[in-house]
Structure 1
Amino acid sequence: MSRLLAALLTCVAAAALATGAAFGIVAALDAAPEQQNVPLVTFPDPPAQGSSSTPDPGAG
């Protein structure tokens, strides 16, 4: 019976440890400041699609 009690206490302790770790991770993520959403690479805007001197390759 003592082995069963030890197994039960081990399971309860493991569940409590896992729950505490989960709450700790969530608390740590909430405490961290949000990162700015700034792109590392930017590309120039393409020229406006209007009248051009080159023919459209798909119009043939």
Structure 2
Amino acid sequence: MEKIKNATESLYFFLRVWYNYSVGIYNCRVCIRVCAGVRAQRRKRSLHKSEGGKTCKKYTVKK
């Protein structure tokens, strides 16, 4: 029983890490696209760099 339990836990852990990683990358790509769009729209108003950075920090992948 112990072996099965350990195998299940490690598989679950691997899947969770992989899921977080792929979601993080996907969100970051979307975020970069959104940030680029916002920058293009607000270029005349001169958007601060810190504003663009805040949205992307949400999606950084936790190591």
Identity within the alignment, %: 3
**Following TM superposition, where does structure 1 have runs of at least 4 consecutive aligned residues deviating by more than 2 angstroms?**
none
Higher helix share: 2
Mapped to 2, the partners of 1:8 and 1:23 lie a distance apart of: 22
**Structure 2: any 5+ residue segments left out of the alignment?**
44-63
Give the number of the structure with larger relative contact order, counting CA–CA contacts within 8 Å between residues 6 or more apart. 2
Larger radius of gyration: 1
**Structure 1: any 5+ residue segments left out of the alignment?**
37-60
Cα deviation for residue 9 of structure 1 reads: 0.5
TM-score by length of structure 1 reads: 0.53
Mapped to 2, the partners of 1:28 and 1:12 lie a distance apart of: 23
> Does 2:20 match 1:17?
yes
